Amino acid sequence: MTLSLKNLSSLLFAALLLITSCGEDNETTDDTPDTTPKVEAPKLIPYSVVKEYPHDPTAFTEGLQFVDGYLYESTGQYGASDVRKTELETGKILLKTEMDKSYFGEGLAIIGDKLYQLTYMEHTGFVYDLKTLKEVGKFQFYNKEGWGMTTDGTHLIYDDGGNTLFFLDPKTFQEVKRVEVMDERGPVRQLNELEYIKGFIYANQWQTNYIYKIDPATGKVVGKIDLFDLRQKVGIPYPIAGDEKGPEVMNGIAYDAVSNRIFITGKNWPKVIEVKLDN
């Protein structure tokens, strides 16, 4: 049977309607509400330099805390890791405990008369007597890596280079909870050295000039400090390719709760910098 042009057009139009109708029937609409937490862009927090203090330029800083008038520091690198107590004003090392060369020291935190220290890839933490810096215990953690650590006075809080904060009971070393750190763009990764200041956690981000102010209850970033020009202000040169002993990345935040002072340093930096945050 031969179809007329008119009949052919009618058949094609009907087929088109059928295809369109099928497509509409197969469409699904998702009325499920979006429960993804909304995070506002963090406030940019200005800073200013208050004072400079000497710092051991051979210290590959991984953890920093200020307690009772002294700086306590954990340093890294295999064969060169230690924990130490120093005078802020002079940079003089008062006490130091060297780690076995098989350990790479990482973040530290102090609760009461104990100092706690992470290691990089050894899944082991150390406990020291604060007065003597003598080792008094060990604990295990099961993340692939250990990076920064701080405390809210109740928990040990650490990270592993991702965007998660892990809360441990300092008596049992069991995980109590974990919090994902997010800003308006999503997960904030490569969190490094941590410091608890007035109810918030301040975190260095590895290989950047940023310090993030984090709400520990929600993981939301509520503030951001960009220290892109800090090195220039205090005369610390930027890393030079092949120079393994020169100043490395910024890493190290300590807080003097008595005098409300914040200190910042970096790996192999010759200075500790006191800064004021205008927040």
| Region of poorest pLDDT, from 9-13, 81-85, 143-147, 175-179 | 9-13
- Whether 62 is in a domain gets the answer yes
Q: For every residue of the chain, which 3-state class applies, written as one string?
A: CCCCHHHHHHHHHHHHHHHHHHHHHHCCCCCCCCCCCCCCCCEECCEEEEEEEECCCCCCEEEEEEECCEEEEEECCCCCCEEEEEECCCCCEEEEEECCCCCCEEEEEEECCEEEEEECCCCEEEEEECCCCCEEEEEECCCCCCCCEEECCCCEEECCCCCEEEEECCCCCCEEEEEECEECCEECCCEEEEEEECCEEEEEECCCCEEEEECCCCCEEEEEEECCCHHHHHCCCCCCCCCCCCCCCEEEEEEECCCCEEEEEECCCCEEEEEEECC
Residue 114 lies in a domain: yes
Would 248 be classed as within a structural domain?
yes
Residue 240 lies in a domain: yes
Q: Has residue 200 been placed in a domain?
A: yes
Q: What is the pLDDT of residues 189-242, one digit of tens each?
A: 999 999 999 999 999 999 999 999 999 999 999 999 999 999 999 999 887 776
CATH code of 108's domain: 2.130.10.10
Is residue 166 domain-resident? yes
Q: What is the span of the domain harbouring residue 93?
A: 58-277
User: Structural domain tally of the chain?
Assistant: 1
The tens digit of pLDDT for each residue in 52-93 reads 999 999 999 999 999 999 999 999 999 999 999 999 999 999
Q: Is residue 149 part of a domain?
A: yes
